[in-house]
Amino acid sequence: MTRSSALTPSLTLATVQDRPAGAPRRASTGQILRAAEREFGRDGYKGASMSAIAAAAGLPKANIHYYFGTKEDLYRAVLENILDDWLADATVWINADASPRAALEGYVRAKIAFSRDRPDASRIFAHEVLQGAPNIQGYFDTALRRHVRTLEEVFTLWQRNGLMRPINGPHLMFCIWAMTQTYADMSAQVCGVLGKTVLAKQDYDDAATTIIGLVLNGIETT
């Protein structure tokens, strides 16, 4: 797999979405991304094949190549889609019009739900970062950095209004990401400690409640 310093493939998710609209394209790209997320999450980049992804999507292999080009292009599009969805959750919940309690509680629950419902997405991201983020370092340096700065501006406003203790915004986000994503990335460890083969809804609810308590105890002024 080619190691690049930025998420700038020859065919990105945005490129696919810019193609002339049509019902087959709209349906197919979503099917392909969902299937690819499962296959890359289960077998890794090297282990996943375009044939397996096509079979999982219920589409001819030629369709995969038409919409996304190569396997590397598709892998990058999957990464971009994961990151876009994560950033969208934060944008929805963490904004100046919300209270710190409502915002951070909602965001933590959204992140736990993501780990529960799309564990493969979190594992793909974790594997990519452990490899040095060759395909998404550029995304980190640009879009993600801007995103965290915007969140930090919200935290600063809350602090000025006496709603939040002084805290390092980026490190708060790192902590939330680490705590919530562990229930996908380290699910085998969590299951082993809890004596389960799979986590139940109550386990995710308990995780969210615990994390919310830790976060709010650390940031609330009263």
Specify if 4 maps to a domain. no
Instruction: Output the CA torsion sign for 90, 85, 106, 205.
Output: negative
Task: Specify the pLDDT at position 221.
Answer: 87
Q: Which residue, 205, 59, 83, 75, is CA-closest to 142?
A: 83
Residue ranges for the chain with pLDDT beneath 50: 2-12, 14-23
Query: Residue 148 maps to which CATH number?
Result: 1.10.357.10
Tell me, letter by letter, the H, E, C secondary structure of 8-60. Answer: CCCCCHHHHHHCCCCHHHHHHHHHHHHHHHHHHHHHHHHHCCHHHHHHHHCCC
Give burial (CB, 10 Å; 0-12/13-18/19+) of 103: buried
* Range(s) of the domain holding residue 208: 13-219
Specify if 185 maps to a domain. yes
Specify if 20 maps to a domain. yes
Question: DSSP 3-state assignment of 197?
Answer: coil
Specify if 1 maps to a domain. no
Specify if 3 maps to a domain. no
pLDDT per residue as tens digits for the range 12-71: 454 444 444 444 555 578 889 999 999 999 988 999 999 999 999 999 999 999 999 999
Task: Specify the pLDDT at position 28.
Answer: 79
Specify if 136 maps to a domain. yes
Specify if 2 maps to a domain. no
How many folded domains does the chain comprise?
1
Specify if 166 maps to a domain. yes
Count CB neighbours of 124 within 10 A: 25
